[in-house]
A and B are shown apart, each in its own frame.
Chain A
Amino acid sequence: MPRKPDRLKYGADDVPAKRDLLVLGVQHFCLALVFAIYPAAIAQQAGMSTREKAGLLTATIIATAITTFLHHFKPPLGNGNLTIQTPTPIAVPAMMQAMGLGGLSLLSGMTFVFGATELAVSRIIKYLRAYFPPEVSGVVVMMLGVSLAESAVRNFTGATMASGVVTGVNLDYIIVASLTLITIIACAVFGRGFIKLFSLGFGLAVGLIASKLVGAFATADIQNMNASPWLGVPSLNLGLPTFNLALIPLVMIMAVIQCVDTLGSFISIQRINDDDWKKLDTAQASSGIQVNGIGNMISGLLGGIPGGISSAHIGLVMASGAAARRVGAVTGILLIFSIFTPKLVAGLSSIPQPVIGALLAYTAAFMMVAGMELILSRLLSERRIFTIGLSILIGLSTVILPGVYSRLPVLLANICESTLAITAVSAIVLNMIFRIGISQRATLQASPSGHHYETIAPFMESLGKTWGMRRDIAERASTACAELFEALVSHGVPEDSLALTVEFDEVDLVMSVVYPGKPISLPTSRPTLHELLSGPDAQVQLGAYVVRKYVDKLSQVSTGDTNRLTLRLEH
């Protein structure tokens, strides 16, 4: 049972007052609209007509609205938390590529593939994590930022190109884009509370005003916005989706990266909801990823782009102190209503080029740093350093020497010529290669001096570096094992007969201790204060109880005079 933190006014299952529900729903709705920037950027890059742009936005909003609404139900229908679905930047480069290769029908098909991949891996994502450890995901996320850079700079400067060479830039665009970016940065760096949270929204507002002043709005978009009614039936770009074999691997990899990212979002939201949070509730996460997959398949069928759980909204949950899942239902309903306001959709699809440039520049910078953070979240060994360095180098080779892979067979060349695809494939393959030959099993003899923590902690840290363990898992393992050794010694087990065996497979860290004599009891409840003060036996019980609290699974098998204790930590 989660322990609701004091800072939360409304926990996940609380029912807020009607007024609060509406106000919170409107806040999440407004923040969600800002993310229309991603479909708008894809539309801008592809040079879509105003009608096509509106169709793309409408489809994406419908899908995110349905998904957001579904998320508020408890598993298996939803995930039972306040999580808001928004268009995901992770899919933007692949979707831009899809638009370039096959237009709207291919974009629809690739969004469908993205969703289908999420649905397929939703139940096995835990096991796929071995192939997508943080350094692999981090490299891909960093290169996502690099992939967005070209589009960001081109829109930011309004650069015109001829034969791959810049022939001119638009000074008005640079001024508008700079004002937009400065506003976002100022709000994000110097702002507090809602100003910080809505930094993208404030930047967007300043960018729109500046665009109006310098005339950066496209005339056709203005005419479309003026002609659009306040209320009306939404239009969609319905058509049969098409598929491109060369693009499918990239889209599938991005979908898995999105799933891994979603696991991170669930860790954040579950931590917000539970002061006693210890490990990821995989039922919630799997169900959430499943709903995301279904939502993105719907988005594909309607002609939209993929979405994902928004970390900005998780920030809003934290700042507002309201994590009630019913707020998600209200947000979903508001998003659905919004598509019946063609003027709003036309307004969102008319975001001018320099404003898109500034928002993409912000996103690109943010993703590059987020990728670096992910890379550094694990203890690094030489093998992992090479995995990271070489895959970035291989990815950058397409930027440094465009066309370097053009002589490969067509299907392979298409993958290799994409900075993102070749980086992702290189990181995955190098990770698998560098795992070869690493012993995933190690043993430590107990210290005869009795200084168990001082022996076990450096041993675990060293293994953590070699195996790429999460820092917090290595620390929890050290504390649990030291506590177990103390409890066993107090139980009467000779120190020289104690040895710890550790095994790691990216999914689980398994520690086992074999010891002779009478088996130690493993209580599920803590000894009382009175028992603890009465005698040393209760301290052994307390030690075993703490070990149980530190690990995800604790079991003991006794055969004759020998006992085997197994401690399992999910990674």
Chain B
Amino acid sequence: MAAQMSELRVYAPVGRLDSQTAAGHEEAILALINPSSKGLVLDMAGVSHLSTAGIRVLLMVSRACQDAGIGLMLHSLTPATLEVIRITGLDEHLNIRLDAS
């Protein structure tokens, strides 16, 4: 699920990102954060369901990236995933890129 592209680190969660899977994903993503890398990209295309537990993971990762001084970008979110983030109003705190490029 994780890949390194030049200086960017990419993580692509697959399936549900909810209370059952949140802890595992959080651990895996936090392990990828490295102050020497250029940034972290979360490819959300494979996320079939995102709950608020998953959103909290995204916020924790965002904070960890800030602390490490690197950027975080979320891309390829499905409309349903994007909607739940927007409904919480937390999209302002996450760097979301709408297109997959």
Contacts and interface: CB of A to CB of B under 8 A. Distances in A.
A529 B59 contact: yes
A550 B51 contact: no
A286 interface: no
Nearest to B89: A526
Measured as residues with beta carbon below 8 angstroms from the partner, the interface class of chain B is: 20 to 34
Most buried by A among B19, B87, B93: B19
Given A453-B18, A529-B93, A539 B53 contact: yes
Contacts of B55: 542
B15 to A, nearest CB: 10
A475 B48 CA distance: 13
Interface in B30-56: 49, 51-53, 55-56
Interface string A544-564: 011001100000000000000
A451 B20 contact: yes
A533 B63 CA distance: 8
Given A450-B20, A451-B16, A546 B88 contact: yes
B87 A486 contact: no
A248 interface: no
B52 A486 contact: yes
A236 interface: no
A104 interface: no
Interface in A504-544: 526, 529, 532-533, 539, 542-543
B18 A486 contact: yes
Interface string A33-63: 0000000000000000000000000000000
Contacts of A545: 88
B94 to A, nearest CB: 11
Interface string B60-101: 100100000000000000001000100111100100000000
Contacts of A449: 20
A381 interface: no
A453 B16 contact: yes
A529 B80 CA distance: 22
Contacts of B16: 451, 453-454
A453 B49 contact: yes
Contacts of B89: 526
A544 to B, nearest CB: 9
A539 B88 CA distance: 11
A486 B51 contact: yes
B19 A546 contact: no
A312 B24 CA distance: 51
8 contacts: A483-B52, A486-B51, A486-B52, A486-B53, A529-B59, A533-B63, A539-B56, A549-B88
Interface of A: 449-454, 475, 479, 482-483, 486-487, 489-490, 526, 529, 532-533, 539, 542-543, 545-546, 549-550
Closest 8 pairs between A and B when the two form their complex, measured CB to CB: A542-B52, A543-B52, A453-B49, A450-B20, A486-B19, A549-B87, A539-B56, A486-B51
Given A450-B19, A453-B18, A526-B89, 18 more contacts: A452-B18, A453-B51, A454-B16, A454-B49, A475-B80, A479-B80, A482-B18, A482-B49, A483-B52, A486-B51, A526-B90, A539-B52, A539-B53, A542-B52, A542-B88, A543-B52, A546-B87, A549-B88
